Structure formats: C-alpha cells, structure tokens
Chain A
Amino acid sequence: MSASVISDFIVPKSSGKAFKVNKGQSLRVIECEGKQVAGLMFFNAHNFKEQFMAEFSGGLSYFQPPDLGRIGSHYRLGELYSKVPYENLMLRVTDNKIGDHFLGTHCTKKTMEILQAPGHRSCSDNFAEALREYGLQLEDIYSPSVLNAFANITIDQKGDGSIQVKPPRSERGDYIEFQAEMDVLVAVSACPDDQSAINDHVCKAIKIQILEEP
C-alpha cells in the first residue's frame, strides 16, 4: 500500500462530524477503542439531493450482474449507491475484514423515548450538528437509514421480522475502507446510545483517515 494519509482525526464519543472525500481518495473508518458503531451518511458533494440509500445498496450489492457474482448483502456491503432516480455508484468498499454492519435507521428522539430515556442524545442530534455547516437540516435528508458500521444487528427471518441487537464484534484497530467513486460529503456519527447493546453499553470515539495515492 503506497497510499498516504492526508487527513487523520478523531470523532469524539457521542458527537458527529462532516467532511469531504474526493473521487479516487480512500476513507477509513477505524475502531480506535473497539465495539463502537459509526453511523455513516453520504451525499454527492455537488448535489446534496443525491443521497446514499442504505437498504437499496445492500440489495444491489447482492443482486449484481450474474458474471460479477454477489459482492455484498444487507449485513456486508460491497458497493454504495445513491437513491432513485440517480442510482449512481458513490463508493466501493475496498477493505472490510470485520464485516459486520447494519443498513438501517439511526437512533432518534423517538428511539430514546422507547428506550425509556427521553431527551437522551441520539444519532439524529449528531447528524444535525455535523451537517449544519453545509446548510443541511434533518428535514432535507430523505432517508433515516445509514450504514451503521460495526453494528451487530440482525433481522429475524420469520414472524414479524423483529430486530436483535447484540454488542459489536469489532475490536480496537478494526476498520472499514471505502474508495470514493465521486466527490462525496460524508457525515459520521459516533453513536451516542449507551441504553442498548449496540455500543456494548459504553459510548466511545471513532477515528477517521483519508488516504490518497501519490
């Protein structure tokens, strides 16, 4: 690997951060402490209406052209696409040893009410704060679904299709790496949920690196 790190920073626990990654650059989302979920949103940097669509990307990664085979699924993403009517490839997963993640909604005010913690900070707050400097509000974001990196959540195959949330299997140093196929705005939320098992009941920081080939 000859790529060099051009940006390296910490997203403190229970906070959000937004930043740009240019086409061709790589983004690394790193477990600097372990067992911490990073919620990730992506936007076309030149048209914020073109937004990453999480579930759709899981389906498209699974249903690839027959000659390419299956490169991902709902729990292990291969490629990231934007919402209809765009449906463009935004990023590609280039390194993902740990594998786990969940393509689904982020925690919100209502989630915290249901968890008997009304007023508790949620990923909604993190995303709203992070995106404010780019002029984006929660009202402008079409889907609450994000790539919940390192989340160990599964959907029951039977019955009502209820979810089961377990502590992450990721440890310190695990990471997921993406290559940008277009200029993107990224928003990261270091999930502030210490009420469920999603972050093993302790909120921690997430480390971000942007890499570039010389």
Chain B
Amino acid sequence: MPSNVVKDIVIPKCSGKTMKVEKGQVFRVIAHEGKQVADLTFLNAHNFKEHFAAEHSAVLNSMQGTGGYYRITKLYSKPPYENVMATVISDSVGNGARGGERAGHFMMCHCSNRLLNHLGMPGTRTCSDNFADAFKEIGLNQEDTYDETIFNVWMQSWIGEDGGMCSAQPLAEIGDTIDFLAEMDIIAVISVCPDETSPCNDFKAKSLRFQVLEGEE
C-alpha cells in the first residue's frame, strides 16, 4: 500500500479542479469536513476520448459481484475501450463500517443547470459549472468530452421502487476516505458539489481534501 504523500491539496467548496495521477499511484479523497459529495470522473491522460463510464461500471461490477450503482470496485472506461482505469482498494464508508442500508455512493448524473431550473432555482451554481471549469484546465470544452454520469463519492441516493431518485444525507463523517489505485496514467476531474438545496451535502457545501500517494511501503 503506497503511503508516501506526494500531493496534498484542499479543493475549496463549490469548485472544480483536475489532478494527474500516474499508474501505480493512489488517489485519495478525504471528507475532512464531513458530509460532502465528491463528483469524480477520470480521463486516460494520453487519450482524452477514453473516459470513465460510471453507469457501465455499475452494471459490469454488478455482474461480477463487485458492486453496483451504490459502490464499485473496478472503474471501467467507456466502450470500445473498456479498460480498468482504477481500482477502489479502500473505502471506509462503502465497506459498511458506517452502517446504513446501502453502500453510500451513487453512479449517476451530477447536478446541472437544467435540473436546478426544473427545481425552481435558476442561476444556482451546479456541478456542471464546476466540471466546465475543471475541463478548461486541460483545454477541453464540455461539448467535447465526457458523460455526466459519474462517480458521486458519498452521495447517498438511490433509485426508488417507482424509478424515482431518492436522497439522504451522506453516511461519511470527518476523516472518512476512499482510495483509488490508478491502473493507467489518469486525470481525475473533480467537482466539489455545490448543492445546498438537498440532503446530498447535508444542506451545506464544504471543501474536500485530496492526496496522491506512492511508494511500496
């Protein structure tokens, strides 16, 4: 387990950023203020067309008994690539230690401008804005990349019996972490979810801490 911290940053609340993680390094997300969702997608650092597909990974993990829509172990890229981009090697909430009825993450869409319009709150900042800012750092427009179905770390939402989306506050507490082992050189694209209108961030947007670790010991 790599334990040498080579990068350690706090990403302010309601903002987006990218971080490069090399093959063999570990990307760690830390809930250093508690109940706050980290929206994550990943790009192959050498081919931006190869990006993480959360919804596809949910189904492939479900078929292999390694997860589903609320937790995954293997993060696959979109077809036709379908490579394992990263593997979750430690997950202090998804492992059930915090209790709850479900694993506590959500492989689904991030919040967007149209969603907030529908909810009667036009002009509210969304993950869409954060992702647009983050992609700009690496010269990408939102039109030219990704799929807004992403890994919502610590978002405790689920699909109800009628197919509706239900949400409860995150199970995560201060200090909870999730570790991703990079299986290729990747760029993590991050939104610190700005939502304060729902239980997703316990009605208060907070910052998140991110680390990159390496080394054998």
Q: Which A residues are closer than 8 A to B by beta carbons?
A: 49-50, 53-56, 58-60, 62-66, 70, 72-76, 81, 83-87, 104-105, 108-111, 114-115, 124, 128, 138-145, 154-163
CB distance from A143 to the nearest CB of B (A): 4
With contacts A63-B118, A160-B71, A161-B69 taken as known, whether A74 is within 8 angstroms of B165 at the C-beta atoms is yes
- Given A65-B120, A84-B148, A145-B149, A59 contacting B82 (CB threshold 8 A): no
CB <8 Å contact, A66 and B80: no
Of B53, B103, B149, B161, which is within 8 A of A160 by CB? Answer: B103
In the complex, the answer to whether A105 meets B118 with C-beta atoms within 8 Å is no
Residue among B59, B128, B147 with most chain A CB within 10 A: B59
CB atoms of B158 and A62 under 8 A apart: no
Q: Are A143 and B80 in contact, with the CB atoms below 8 A?
A: no
Contact A163 B59 (CB under 8 A): yes
Cα of A59 to Cα of B61 in the assembled complex, Å? 22
Bound CA span A160–B58, Å:
9
Chain B residues whose C-beta falls within 8 Å of the C-beta of A110 in the assembled complex: 60, 76, 79, 82
Q: Does B42 contact A (CB under 8 A)?
A: no
Residue of A nearest to B161 (CB): A157
The answer for the CA separation of A12 and B128 in the assembled complex, in Å, is 39
- Determine if B3 is an interface residue (Cβ-Cβ < 8 Å): no
> How many Å lie between the Cα of A74 and that of B162 in the bound state?
8
The answer on a CB contact under 8 Å between B101 and A85 is: no
Q: List the 8 shortest-distance A-B pairs measured between CB atoms, nearest first.
A: A73-B163, A161-B69, A75-B163, A161-B70, A161-B68, A143-B147, A162-B68, A87-B114
Check A144–B109 contact: CB distance below 8 A. Answer: no
Q: Name B residues whose Cβ lies closer than 8 Å to a Cβ of A.
A: 49, 51, 53, 55-56, 58-64, 67-71, 76, 78-80, 82, 101-103, 106-109, 112-115, 117-120, 128, 131-132, 142-149, 158-165
Query: What chain A residues lie within 8 Å of B149 (beta carbons)?
Result: 53, 55-56, 143, 145
Check if A62 sits within 8 Å of B163, measured CB to CB. Answer: yes
Do B118 and A73 have beta carbons less than 8 Å apart? Answer: no
A132 to B39, CA, bound (A): 33
Q: Which of A76, A84, A111 counts the most chain B CB atoms within 10 A?
A: A84
- In angstroms, how far is the closest chain B Cβ from the Cβ of A98? 14
Query: How many angstroms from the CA of A161 to the CA of B106 in the assembled complex?
Result: 9
**B-side interface mostly:** mixed
* Chain B min CB distance to A142 (Å): 5
Report if A105-B142 is in contact (Cβ < 8 Å); known contacts: A63-B119, A65-B120, A70-B164: no
Contact of B113 among A54, A87, A124, A143 (CB under 8 A): A87
| Known contacts A62-B164, A143-B55, A144-B79, then 7 further A-B pairs from the complex at CB < 8 Å, ordered by chain A residue | A58-B165, A66-B120, A73-B162, A87-B114, A108-B80, A157-B101, A161-B106
Interchain CA distance A163-B56 in the complex, whole Å: 12
Cβ of B103: which chain A residues have Cβ within 8 Å of it? 159-161
Given A109-B82, A138-B80, A159-B70 in contact, is the A74-B164 Cβ separation under 8 Å?
yes
CA distance A110 to B78 in the complex (A): 11
Q: Which of B63, B71, B117, B146 has the most CB of A within 10 A?
A: B63
- B143–A159 CB distance below 8 A: no
Residues of B with C-beta under 8 A to A108: 56, 79-80, 82
Q: How far is the CB of B193 from the nearest CB of chain A, in Å? A: 15
Chain A residues with CB below 8 A from B51, complex form: 142
- Give complex CA distance A86, B60 in Å: 28
Contacts of A53 in B (CB 8 A): 109, 147-149
